[in-house]
Amino acid sequence: MKISGSGEEALQVIPRFQPDLVLLDIFMPGMGGLEALRQIRAAHPTAKILMLTTFGYDTYVKEAVAGGAAGYLLKDTTPQEVWASITVVMGGQTVLSPSVVESLSGKPRGADGQKTLIPAWFPLLSEKERKILLLISRGQSNEEIADRLHLGKKTIRNYVSALYEKIEVKDRFGAIRVAIEAQVHTLVLE
């Protein structure tokens, strides 16, 4: 493990240490975290980058995700949640702090005024699986989903099978029910 005090320093030490994971803050001395993210992704595309910051503004989150961040956590995240998030990111998935998801969804509360809870299975889904679940909940067929996502029908069928297993349903109706109950439309970025 190596700790760097700035974005510039991180860019200098990463080639030497070849880390699998880089934690970045949005605001650092010198080069900011978002610029460091872009440069690290360009020079070291296999490194996973997890943003850990106090700033959950939509613009920062969107820029970080668009820049290739594998996750975005706020500093009020517990150490156990940070560790679990690192595991998720190293498994090839994306993770966002719940309050970040609420902010991006534009619907921080459910119809009953209570906070919308993120189901335990949601972080297990890849971004592609999340989009597919959203499209399934809208009644789209595998063929329509394949056309929309520019993927083959067999590829979509494989994603759907993996999705059913992760959300523990047996068929499309079960997936639609689970998606509606979980208010997936408030959790998935389109």
The three-state secondary structure class of 22 is strand
The three-state secondary structure class of 79 is helix
- Write out the chain's pLDDT in tens, 190 residues: 778 788 898 889 898 999 999 999 988 888 888 999 999 999 999 999 999 988 777 778 888 888 889 888 888 888 888 888 888 889 888 888 776 766 665 544 444 444 445 677 887 888 899 889 988 888 788 999 999 999 999 999 999 999 999 998 888 878 887 887 777 766 555 4
- What is the DSSP track for 102-138? HHHHT--B-TTSSBPPPPTTGGGS-HHHHHHHHHHHT
Q: Where are the domains of the chain?
A: 7-104, 122-186
CATH T-level fold of 122-186: Arc Repressor Mutant, subunit A (1.10.10)
Distance in angstroms (rounded) separating the CA atoms of residues 179 and 49: 29
CATH of 7-104, one of 3.30.360.10, 3.40.50.1010, 3.40.50.300, 3.40.50.2300: 3.40.50.2300
> What does the longest C-alpha to C-alpha distance in the chain come to?
53
- List of E strands, the chain: 21-24, 48-53, 71-74, 95-96
